[in-house]
Structures are given as structure tokens and as C-alpha cells.
């Protein structure tokens, strides 16, 4: 039978017995409690009753009935009851905290179970969360680009539907002042009125809940103007208050840089051309957790640019500066050659341009430019350029000239060395990227001849440490003859010597000469050495700490799959990252599998957030300095591949063989503080990336294979385009980041782990638990505040922080801290209260039931166990290896299948604010 109102499902089985009296029980049937409406977190008004019957439908007393919540996280007042003389057994069922379908199961030995399924609705409104941005700037009389939206939630964060929400505007007009919530969301359109500040107060009738939206109505020509290079100091604003400025960018501008610095609090920066910037409409955004923001626009369109300084939290004493550069021009005149010349121009901001004829280069940043001209072979003659290299200085708004004159070589054969550099992954032609101490390097010598020749002069490289000769290496020419024009994009375009890592250390210098033994007749024997002055070339070598990482196979309970990472295939994950990044020593191990109670979606959503945070917590618990990377097996054919923090050493990624190495290298790039590079449509690309189209500008050398990857049609690994390598920009940035890492781990002590996230205006405060780990506290303040409260309501401690940014979730922030129990006075916490701009959430322990928390562990098969507990009393189970203490799962929902072959597990149950059970459990 099915009760429509409660979606009730009963499964019955009957048989025959002796009719002389109550016989053996043959079935149990639901006989009470069906016609009720459930509300999250509260007990149903009537108990639920089952009756035991024999084969003749007579009630049977003394039948032991076991009750268990199967779904929804609710609880019952008694786990077992016996039927009375009327054959009835009853329990009081308290609904779980999540709206939707919940299920209760009644069982008696040898009888078919009764399954009770019902829908539970949300409780009354307890929280109001904004889903729309505040602080919008728009013209008077215009509609805001997006409607105002708020989300009503009950005490347990369930959306509350069908409830009235009141919108009241201080100015302007609203399309609806008392809308009803749809799946918790109420909305209205706001049209601004006359110039000035506007406020909309959102309230919920019958409650004290309220939220405020602000807007500024202002005409574009009334917006304050920023002057070039003139700081605007002393800015301050309350949280949610916008400040708008405009910049008249003149024609010929090559770079526009807008930045904020100083001050307290958190002000974000948005920049847009032609109309007001907003937090959702901009050409550049900078939203770090501090007030040090920067937007860089290259070759900006001439006209009005608008700058929004948005108060994520209240800030004071902020300085805003806009700077733009008027470019100059350089005319390179090429004479004396009837065909294509070989001229290159390089200069500030990684500028590079190849020329084949007379060219006017416009919109150049002011600074010094180098014009280099190579020999050209044409129609059987070799044309020699004069000068081979020259420098010119370009000033703002001025045009300067450089001239290159070619002439046919009539002087006979001559060799010289144009350039020498060492590469370990990527290198500019001028060799300006520092080397990493202890890593093999490829010495590339770009020798050349002034005429076509089959002669193959050798080169000699003398290697010095602190001025003392330590090694000499000889290399033959790579081609049938010395090239006229060296080609950096091919190993065939240079003399190449692989130098072992023990030669690459600080104090390194080189002296290179071509045809060192004068085996070839030349017109000039005096220009064979490099550098030309005979002084050894000093090479910059940086010591870098060993890179250590840990890969974590992830077992998803929703798919019963485990990420495929083993010692046998480890190099297929990390080998490419080693080749592209400035590592000398890399130490990567594999952790025991971690069980994630859930299933990752194809799209980046809360399941990704939760897994990423749990991987982060493993690192915190292990007190490890390693970078943690979770490896999972996707359940989809197309979807997300990786997810990681920007500037924090934790990430997750797929195990698909064709993509695993690129995904890991990309996510480690985010961990090293790198943002996306603009190719393939990534979110929030790095505006300072110097090379157009996300391309790399220089060839990459693979230290593992010795291959050289030409830069043509190759993209930076932080882009979404293929094929990839590391650009000079990314490589040097990662080197700087790793050099700045502290690499110090404190000793472990008893701590309370508090963790959560803010995303899309919603806030999640995960169940806290106690453990022994190295303390981890916010390094700086911010707009989020977590208060740990005692049972009497007093404050035990307070943390202020901003959280960490995630690569695929603009605006999302995660946090996880290990708070020493000594900071709490060794008192038990009773509540966690997290607040921020427009955000407010409290987590408390569930009411005590008088029943001690319990947990059961049973063997599923040789490698897996099932852990079962009461999720209503304990929303989180920390499952550990009993021998090592490693966390195997941060399990939820009352049941989880965990990867383990051991006979015992260590289980800790959290009541939401602390651990209230810690037990070593034998597997049954």
C-alpha cells in the first residue's frame, strides 16, 4: 500500500500457522504514524507503530523489532522495541536535517522489513543569504543589470520555499515588493532613481531576518577622473559600498595599469571600457584577499575606462593609482639585400618581433630596444649585416631610427659565436632565466659562419667554479656545416652539450670558443671566443629546495571506484611536471587510499569543493610539508579534470592516462600561485601574461628525453590550449614562489580542526573534530570571522581570515585551520559561529538523546569494510588506520564503505563542533 501524502512504501510477506492461538510471527505491518507531515530536525507528533501478525492475522506479543534510519540522517528514540500484548511496537522518529526523502526501516528476525519513505519539508526561515552583488553603480533611471536575489534557509541550511520576502527601497522602483520564494529564492528588479546612494532592505515577515543591498546612481560624466600617475589616497568605505572612477585613456597608449595598495580590510578592483564596471561585468578583475590589487591592460582601447573599487569588507586608508604609458615608435631601415633580411627586435615587457624588411614598429613601450641582424644566404651569396647588434632608446611619443646594411661577403670564410646559453626547461635566447642548482642543463652554443660551408668546426666550453677551471667539454658541429643563421628552435641550429647537475651550482661561469685548435682557415681568428672580451660568462644559479609531493588514490563510494595511481605508473603523472618546472630533486610518494563519501560531478560543484577540502585536511592532519594531490577515476566521459587552490599545496585530478600528466602539472601550477593563461577560454586569466594568444615565446627542453620542443604553436601549460610547455613567464614565477616557501613544519599537539568554504553567496561550515596535528592558524586577517563558543555562550577564541582561492571557482574561498586546544583553555566547544559580509551561520551539536554514540564496522570483502553510525548525532566520522593514524575517510551520512584490509580501525565521531567518541573498533 502507498500513502500519497507521505510517499509511504511497505513490503509485506505472509504465510500460514496454527489457528488455535497466536502463532509464530509471519509479518510486521505499519499500523500507526502514517498520516503526518515531517519537518527537518523535529520529532513527528505521533509515534510510528508496527504490529506483528501470525499467519492468521492475529497480533503476536514479544517480537523484537529493530529500528534504523536508512536515509536522511534522522534518529529514533529507541533502537529496539518489543511488541506488547497487542502485537505493537512504537518509536518516536526525529526527522533528519536535510529536506527531501527520508527513510526509516523496521526489521524483525526472519521477517520482511517495513520500509517507510516520506518527504520532509524545510523548517521556518532562520537565515537570509544574498545571491546578488551589492554596491552596484549604474546611471540614474536605469535597471540594474541583474535582479536582486536572496535565499531563505532554515536552521539546517535547507531552502525554504513558498515564504514571503519583503523588499523596501529608499529610492527608485521595485518590480515586486513581496515576492514568494521559489526553492528558497526571492527576487525583484530594481530601477534606480535620482543620482545618489540607494538602499534596499530585505526582510522576512514574522522574523528579525534582514539584509541590505546598496547601489549608487551616478551619471558617467560625474564620476571622478584619475590622473596619470597621481595617487588618490585615504580612500575608505564600509563593506558593500562601491567607489567608481574613470580614466580618459589617450590614443597611442600601450599599457594601462590600475592598482591599489596600503590600507586595511579588503577592497577588490574591477576595470571596464566604455561603461560602468561591476563585480559581474568587467574586462579585468583583481580580487585577492588583501587590498593589494592590480589590473594591467595591454594596448587598451582609447576612450573612457571605468574603475570600480568594491568593498568586500570595510577598508580604510587605501591608495588607488592609474598609470598609462604613451608609446613611441621605431623605424628599422634595411638596406643592401634584394630579399628577406634576418632582423629581430627585442625590448621592454618581453617584446619580440622578427623583421624581413624595412618596418615601422608602433605603440612601443618606452625603453631600450636591441636590434640584432643575422647573416643571410641568398642566390648563392652570403649577405653580412652591419652592425650585427645595436641598441636604441625609444621615448614616449617619439620616433627613433635604426639602420641595418647588408653587403655580400667577399672576405672569405669566418666563424664566430653569436650567443651562448644554458637551458634546463625553457630559456630565452639571451640566457637571462636563472638555472636551478643540481639539475642537468643543456649548453647551447649558437656559432655561425659568414658564408655557406661544409666545414664543421668544433666548439670548446671551459667551465669554471668561482674562477677555477673544473671541466672542459668539446662538441662537434650538429650539421653538415656551420650554419649561417643559428636557429634556436631546433637542436640542429646549435652546438649542444649536456652538463650534469653536479656542475650546475652557484659560482658557475663559462668561456666558449669556436674552432679552438685553428683547424679551419679564417679571415679573422680574433672573434672566435665568447664572450668577446675573453672574460668568462657568469651564469646565475639558484639553490631550490627539493620538491616533495604525495599522491592520494581516492575511493568514491558513489561509484565504488579508486583512482589508478601506483608505483608502476607514478612517472606517468609526475614526469612531465618535473620536465617543465624548476625542480632539481623531486620526491613523490603514494598515500594509502582515501574514501570520499560521494561521487564527483562532471561539472565543478560542491562535490569538488568537498573533496578538495578533505584532501587539504589530510595534509593538515599528517603535518606534512608535501604537496597533496588526490587522484580519482571519473564516472563521466566529458567534464572537469582538475581542481586546486591558488597558492596552497592541495589539488585533485583525474586518472585518465592521456590527460593525467597535463592535469597534474596544471594544478600544481595553481598551487604555485599561478592563474590561468588566456587561451581556450579559462576563467579569470592572468592579465600580466606577456605573450599573445597564450603562446610560449621560447623553445622548451625536456631534461628526461633530451628533446627540444619548438615554441611554434605551443601554449603555456596554464592555458586550456594544446600542446603545452612552460613559458619563461610561468617558469620564473614558479621559481620565485618556491624560493619563498618556508618549508618548516611545527610539532603536533591536540587541536580542533575547523573548516568550511564560501561560494556563490552560500557559506558551509563543516563538522569540526579534534586530533593531534601541527597548529595551523590564519597568516593574516580578513573579512571572515569564526567564533568558537563555550556551552555558557562565552567566547573561547576568535579567528579572522580571508580563505584560499580555488582555480575554477571565481569568488569561492576555502579555509581549514588546526586550532590548539590550549587556545580554548582546554574547554569543550559547544558552538561555531562564522560571519562575513552578508553571511552568518552557526553550527551547534544536536540535542543529547541519552544514548551514547556508537559505531559498527563489518567486512565487505578482502579490501573493504562498512562503517555504520548514527549520522543525526554524529554528522562526521573520521576513519583512521589503527596502526598509523592516517585518515582513511572523512565519512558522512551514517554509512560508508572504506578501503582497508586491517582487522581494526580507529573511529572518531564528531557532533559537529568537536569529537565526542574516539574508539578502536574491531572489524566484524
- CATH number, position 734: 3.40.390.10
d(CA 597, CA 595): 6
In this structure, the answer to whether residues 864 and 840 fall within a common structural domain is no
In this structure, the answer to whether residues 763 and 782 fall within a common structural domain is yes
d(CA 5, CA 72): 18
pLDDT at 7: 37
In this structure, the answer to whether residues 131 and 41 fall within a common structural domain is no
Residue 582's SS3 state is: coil
pLDDT at 4: 33
Q: What is the CATH number of the domain that holds 501?
A: 2.60.40.1930
Residue appearing with cell numbers 649558437 = 446
pLDDT at 810: 67
In this structure, the answer to whether residues 468 and 511 fall within a common structural domain is yes
Residue 850 inside a domain? The answer is: no
In this structure, the answer to whether residues 583 and 731 fall within a common structural domain is yes
Residue 629 inside a domain? The answer is: yes
Residue 15 has pLDDT above 80, yes or no: no
Mean pLDDT on 80-109: 87
In this structure, the answer to whether residues 246 and 266 fall within a common structural domain is yes
CA distances from 860 to 291, 464, 810, 896, 907 (A): 53, 64, 41, 11, 17
Q: What is the CATH number of the domain that holds 159?
A: 2.60.40.10
Domain final residue, candidates 408, 429, 463: 408
Percent of the chain topping pLDDT 70: 96
| Best CA proximity match to 893, nearest among 558, 553, 554 | 558
641-663, pLDDT tens digit by residue?
999 998 889 999 999 999 999 99
Would the pTM count as exceeding 0.75?
Answer: no
Residue 433 inside a domain? The answer is: yes
* Residue with the larger pLDDT of the pair 117 and 1: 117
In this structure, the answer to whether residues 521 and 393 fall within a common structural domain is no
pLDDT at 417: 93
In this structure, the answer to whether residues 570 and 712 fall within a common structural domain is yes
213-227, pLDDT tens digit by residue?
888 899 988 999 999
Please give the residue range of the domain that contains residue 404: 328-408
Give residues with Cβ within 8 angstroms of 893, minimum separation 6.
73, 597, 871
Domain final residue, candidates 375, 408, 441: 408
pLDDT at 20: 58
What Rg value do the Cα atoms of the chain yield, rounded? 35
* Residue with the larger pLDDT of the pair 233 and 75: 233
Name the average pLDDT for the chain: 88
Residue 849 inside a domain? The answer is: no
Return the beta strands (E) in 181-314 as ranges. Answer: 185-188, 190-191, 196-203, 210-217, 232-237, 242-249, 253-261, 267-273, 284-286, 293-298, 303-311
* Residue with the larger pLDDT of the pair 618 and 294: 618
Residue 394 inside a domain? The answer is: yes
pLDDT at 312: 78
382-437, pLDDT tens digit by residue?
888 888 889 999 999 899 999 999 998 877 888 999 999 999 999 999 899 999 99
In this structure, the answer to whether residues 317 and 336 fall within a common structural domain is no
Give the count of domains, the chain. 8
The answer to whether 145 and 281 are in contact (CB under 8 A) is: yes
In this structure, the answer to whether residues 582 and 650 fall within a common structural domain is yes
682-737, pLDDT tens digit by residue?
877 887 888 989 999 999 999 999 999 999 889 999 999 999 999 999 999 999 88
Residue 773 inside a domain? The answer is: yes
Residue 139 inside a domain? The answer is: yes
In this structure, the answer to whether residues 8 and 107 fall within a common structural domain is yes
Minimum mean pLDDT range among 286-295, 554-563, 860-869, 904-913: 286-295
Residue 373 inside a domain? The answer is: yes
505-544, pLDDT tens digit by residue?
999 999 999 999 888 888 888 889 999 899 999 999 999 9
Minimum mean pLDDT range among 126-130, 476-480, 594-598, 821-825: 476-480
Residue 886 has pLDDT above 80, yes or no: yes
d(CA 673, CA 281): 24
- What's the burial of 883, exposed, middle or buried (CB within 10 Å: 0-12/13-18/19+)? exposed
Residue appearing with cell numbers 615601422 = 360
Domain final residue, candidates 408, 423, 449: 408
Residue 551 has pLDDT above 50, yes or no: yes
In this structure, the answer to whether residues 336 and 287 fall within a common structural domain is no
Amino acid at each position: 500500500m502507498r500513502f500519497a501524502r507521505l510517499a509511504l512504501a511497505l513490503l509485506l510477506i505472509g504465510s500460514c500457522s496454527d489457528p488455535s492461538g497466536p502463532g509464530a510471527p509471519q509479518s510486521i505491518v505499519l499500523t500507526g504514524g502514517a498520516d503526518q507531515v515531517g519537518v527537518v530536525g523535529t520529532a513527528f507528533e505521533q509515534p510510528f507503530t508496527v504490529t506483528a501478525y501470525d499467519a492468521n492475522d492475529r497480533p503476536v506479543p514479544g517480537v523484537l523489532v529493530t529500528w534504523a534510519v536508512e536515509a536522511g540522517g534522522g534518529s529514533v528514540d529507541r533502537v529496539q522495541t518489543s511488541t506488547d500484548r497487542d502485537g505493537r511496537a512504537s518509536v518516536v522518529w526525529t526527522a533528519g536535517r536535510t529536506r527531501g526523502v527520508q527513510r526509516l526501516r523496521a526489521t524483525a528476525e526472519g521477517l520482511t522489513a517495513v520500509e517507510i519513505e516520506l518527504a520532509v519539508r524545510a523548517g521556518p526561515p532562520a537565515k537570509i543569504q544574498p545571491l546578488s552583488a551589492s554596491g552596484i553603480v549604474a546611471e540614474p533611471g536605469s535597471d540594474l543589470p541583474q535582479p536582486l536575489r536572496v535565499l531563505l534557509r532554515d536552521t539546517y541550511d535547507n531552502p525554504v520555499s513558498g515564504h514571503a520576502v519583503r523588499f523596501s527601497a529608499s529610492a527608485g522602483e521595485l518590480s515586486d515588493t513581496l515576492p514568494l520564494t521559489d526553492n528558497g529564492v526571492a527576487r525583484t528588479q530594481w530601477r534606480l532613481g535620482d543620482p545618489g546612494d540607494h538602499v534596499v532592505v530585505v526582510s522576512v515577515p514574522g522574523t528579525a531576518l534582514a539584509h541590505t543591498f546598496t547601489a549608487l546612481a551616478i551619471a558617467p560624466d560625474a564620476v571622478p577622473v584619475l590622473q596619470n600617475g597621481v595617487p588618490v589616497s585615504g580612500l575608505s568605505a564600509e563593506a558593500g559600498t562601491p567607489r567608481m572612477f574613470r580614466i580618459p585613456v589617450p590614443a597611442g597608449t600601450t599599457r594601462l595599469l590600475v592598482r591599489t595598495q596600503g590600507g586595511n580590510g579588503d577592497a577588490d578592483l574591477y576595470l571596464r571600457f566604455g561603461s560602468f564596471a561591476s563585480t559581474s561585468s568587467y574586462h579585468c578583475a583583481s580580487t585577492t584577499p588583501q587590498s593589494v590589487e592590480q589590473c594591467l591592460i595591454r594596448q587598451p582601447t582609447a576612450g573612457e575606462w571605468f574603475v570600480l573599487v568594491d568593498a568586500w569588507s570595510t577598508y580604510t586608508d587605501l591608495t588607488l593609482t592609474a598609470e598609462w604609458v604613451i608609446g613611441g615608435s621605431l623605424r628599422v631601415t634595411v638596406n643592401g639585400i634584394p630579399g628577406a633580411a634576418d632582423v629581430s627586435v627585442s625590448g621592454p615587457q618581453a617584446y619580440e618581433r622578427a623583421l624581413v624588411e624595412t618596418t615601422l614598429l608602433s605603440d612601443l613601450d618606452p625603453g631600450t630596444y636591441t636590434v640584432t641582424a643575422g647573416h643571410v644566404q641568398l642566390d648563392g651569396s652570403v649577405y653580412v649585416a652591419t652592425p650585427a647588434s645595436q641598441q636604441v632608446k625609444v621615448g614616449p611619443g617619439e620616433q627613433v631610427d635604426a639602420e641595418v646594411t647588408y653587403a655580400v661577403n667577399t672576405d672569405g670564410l669566418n666563424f664566430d659565436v653569436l650567443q651562448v646559453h644554458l637551458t634546463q626547461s625553457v630559456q630565452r635566447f639571451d640566457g637571462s632565466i636563472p638555472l636551478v642548482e643540481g639539475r642537468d642543463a643543456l649548453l647551447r652554443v649558437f656559432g655561425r659562419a659568414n658564408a655557406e660551408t661544409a666545414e664543421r668546426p668544433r666548439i670548446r666550453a671551459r667551465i669554471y667554479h668561482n674562477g677555477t677551471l673544473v671541466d672542459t667539454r668539446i662538441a662537434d658541429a650538429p650539421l653538415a656545416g656551420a650554419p649561417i643563421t643559428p636557429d634556436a628552435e631546433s637542436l640542429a641550429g646549435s652546438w649542444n652539450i649536456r652538463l650534469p647537475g653536479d656542475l650546475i651550482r652557484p659560482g658557475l661561469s663559462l668561456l666558449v670558443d669556436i674552432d679552438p685548435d685553428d683547424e679551419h682557415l679564417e679571415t679573422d681568428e680574433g672573434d672566435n671566443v665568447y664572450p668577446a672580451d675573453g672574460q668568462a660568462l657568469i651564469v646565475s644559479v639558484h639553490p631550490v629546495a627539493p620538491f616533495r609531493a604525495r599522491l592520494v588514490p581516492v575511493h568514491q563510494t558513489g561509484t565504488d571506484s579508486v583512482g589508478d595511481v601506483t608505483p608502476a605508473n607514478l612517472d606517468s603523472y609526475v614526469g612531465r611536471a618535473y620536465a617543465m618546472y624548476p625542480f632539481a630533486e623531486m620526491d613523490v610518494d603514494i598515500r594509502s587510499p582515501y574514501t570520499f563519501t560521494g561521487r564527483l560531478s562532471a561539472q565543478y560543484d560542491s562535490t569538488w569543493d568537498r573533496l578538495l577540502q578533505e584532501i587539504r585536511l589530510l595534509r593538515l592532519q599528517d603535518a606534512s610539508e608535501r604537496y597533496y594531490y588526490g587522484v580519482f577515476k571519473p564516472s563521466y566521459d566529458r567534464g572537469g579534470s582538475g581542481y586546486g587552490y591558488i597558492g596552497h599545496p592541495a589539488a585533485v585530478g583525474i586518472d585518465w592516462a592521456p590527460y593525467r600528466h597535463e592535469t597534474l602539472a596544471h594544478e600544481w601550477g595553481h598551487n604555485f600561485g599561478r592563474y590561468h593563461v588566456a587561451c581556450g577560454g579559462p576563467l579569470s586569466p592572468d592579465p600580466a601574461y606577456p605573450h599573445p594568444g597564450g603562446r610560449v615565446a621560447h623553445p622548451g627542453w625536456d631534461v628526461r628525453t633530451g628533446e627540444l620542443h619548438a615554441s611554434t604553436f605551443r601554449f603555456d601549460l596554464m592555458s586550456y590550449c594544446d600542446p603545452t610547455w612552460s613559458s619563461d613567464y610561468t617558469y620564473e614565477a614558479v621559481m620565485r614562489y618556491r624560493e619563498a616557501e618556508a618549508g618548516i613544519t611545527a610539532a603536533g599537539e591536540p587541536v580542533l580542526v575547523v573548516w568550511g568554504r564560501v561560494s556563490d553567496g552560500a557559506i558551509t561550515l563543516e563538522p569540526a573534530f579534534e586530533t593531534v596535528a601541527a597548529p595551523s592558524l590564519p597568516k593574516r586577517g580578513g573579512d571572515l570571522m569564526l567564533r568558537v563558543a563555550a556551552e555558557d555562550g562565552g567566547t573561547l577564541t576568535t579567528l579572522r581570515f580571508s580563505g584560499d582561492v580555488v582555480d575554477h571557482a571565481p569568488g569561492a574561498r576555502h579555509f581549514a585551520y588546526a586550532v590548539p586546544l590550549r587556545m580554548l583553555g582546554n574547554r569543550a566547544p559547544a558552538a561555531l559561529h562564522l560571519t562575513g559580509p552578508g553571511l552568518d551561520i552557526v553550527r551547534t551539536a544536536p540535542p543529547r538523546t541519552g544514548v551514547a554514540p556508537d559505531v559498527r564496522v563489518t567486512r565487505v570483502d578482502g579490501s573493504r569494510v562498512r562503517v555504520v553510525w548514527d549520522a543525526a548525532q554524529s554528522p562526521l566520522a573520521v576513519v583512521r588506520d589503527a596502526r598509523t593514524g592516517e585518515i582513511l575517510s572523512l565519512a558522512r551520512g551514517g554509512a560508508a564503505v572504506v578501503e582497508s584490509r586491517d582487522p581494526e580501525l580507529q573511529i572518531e565521531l564528531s557532533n559537529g563542533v568537536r569529537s565526542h567518541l574516539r574508539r578502536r573498533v574491531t572489524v566484524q
